[in-house]
Structure 1
């Protein structure tokens, strides 16, 4: 079959999980099953839980992983729920490649790209909130919040005002072309950061990521590796902060003269003091990998 996707940090992910030889690994964001197929081929005794909220991704992955059928469980759903769903399984690894999948980016009808003739951006097409609703109905102050907090847009007030005063917009292409004409030229396309903000708002991406971490913390997984690939600073900050929190042994308030908590609260240890980033060769072969960062934590 034609494989239309290059998984990000593929070799580094396989290296992370290479010593797991029993139990289950959860691929929270299976997509085209690039990482999943590699893990099943490398780790012959493990089973995989392949999770995705996208029907098209799951259909493709089921076909791709047919030869591993007896070792795979497919699950449709947002990854914020996957740990709770499978908490009674022997989970030895958790992988989440967060952000927009290539499947979604490359399908113009999904509305993520600058040339898309729809204004959608839903990762789960069964939900009601889409990009058109955000762009065409949100108040100016709500759009400012989206662009400031989620898009990290420096001129968030200007972008929000331009949209409110010139809407409705009927497609991502129309909105991207409009922003390109109205905003100063820079290294990035003028729509890049506003689109990021809209997409995060539509899919509640940061909230979903935090709830995944809360469910991992609550599950108290034993001897389990957690590997998270993020693509922008907002995601990476959440990953870094949770890993730091989980590795703290003393949880006494700052300023306490003597430890009173027992100093035994660490859930595990951070494996990656600094994030693993793609090599120059990978970035050349797959430009979409350039902003990716892999952080790894080991639950004791």
Structure 2
């Protein structure tokens, strides 16, 4: 019996989001350790599931975990944005009935100190794909001060981004995440519920894995595919991701795309891709928060495609 290393967030909400899908294909863009995938396969006995992940250790684990559903599962290794394009070359958009993306770092990745995601890690890595060329070490020790300022501001929303970037450049090299976090602690804003270096490491991790670019590309692909009847559910863990999803869903729901200053509609008023199901994001319930504190940051937004 496999020990499950990762508890999927919003597990009830995910199952409910796809509960009315009776056949066709659901794509789990971020399979991880198979938590959401296994729940969807169990709850939807007639669907096929395509699961994507870029972490080989996650693929190895989930290949065994999803073995009971082997005839209904295809696992693909790589980045979800590019693989979704490949999938659409194999299947018609009408066959895709659901798309799930859990845009976050898994518990196992956080807990494995050698992966370099944790504040106490003895490495400086943070690659979700361990074969990727760019690591946190490269970002911290090789980026120019201006580039560091950019990622600390844009991805970490740190107000004193210039001081932090200057300190890094003047005191590098840094060899571990722990060394970096400890050295910068006096410059980081105090936090009650999170480690002071959370936003700093978040910014570096986003840069290493191009997380926001991947999310934007995924949404671009979904938009271009014009799925006639698919449920799209995106789980995010910080405001940058949630803002991207919220804004894109809002755009998709608009029927009229004329400029706001237009006196009358001239676009045809028929540009809606469907409707927003969640006016406000779904968040973890009290019992899940107690059992899995990491779920406190999770927000899920759902859009129903109808083109």
TM-score by length of 2: 0.95
Distance 2:224 2:190 in 1: 46
Among 275, 280, 286, the alignment partner of 1:280 is: 286
Whether 2:233 is the aligned partner of 1:227: answer: yes
**What's the CA shift string for 1:137-185, capped at 9, x where partnerless?**
1111111111000011122112111111111100111111112255454
Instruction: Find the counterpart in structure 2 of residue 38 from structure 1.
Output: 39
8 Å Cα contact 1:111-1:120 kept in structure 2: yes
Task: Output aligned runs, 1:119-158, within 5 Å.
Answer: 119-158=124-163
Distance 1:60 1:155 in 2: 41
Choose 6-15 or 278-287, whichever is displaced more. Answer: 278-287
Change (3 A) 1:183 1:46: closer
Whether 2:204 is the aligned partner of 1:203: answer: no
Whether 2:22 is the aligned partner of 1:17: answer: no
Instruction: Find the counterpart in structure 1 of residue 177 from structure 2.
Output: 172
Q: Offset at 1:105?
A: 1.0
Among 104, 110, 117, the alignment partner of 1:105 is: 110
Q: Offset at 1:275?
A: 0.5
Choose 248-257 or 181-190, whichever is displaced more. Answer: 181-190
Aligned length: 300
Distance 1:56 1:14 in 2: 25
Distance 2:234 2:187 in 1: 36
Q: Offset at 1:296?
A: 0.2
Instruction: Find the counterpart in structure 1 of residue 242 from structure 2.
Output: 236
Task: Output aligned runs, 1:4-83, within 5 Å.
Answer: 4-83=5-84
Among 254, 257, 261, the alignment partner of 1:255 is: 261
3-state SS of 2:147 partner: helix
Q: Offset at 1:37?
A: 0.4
Whether 2:296 is the aligned partner of 1:290: answer: yes
Distance 1:56 1:209 in 2: 22
3-state SS of 1:227 partner: strand
8 Å Cα contact 1:49-1:73 kept in structure 2: yes
TM-score by length of 1: 0.97
3-state SS of 1:68 partner: helix
8 Å Cα contact 2:6-2:106 kept in structure 1: no
Q: Offset at 1:124?
A: 1.3
Distance 2:195 2:13 in 1: 30
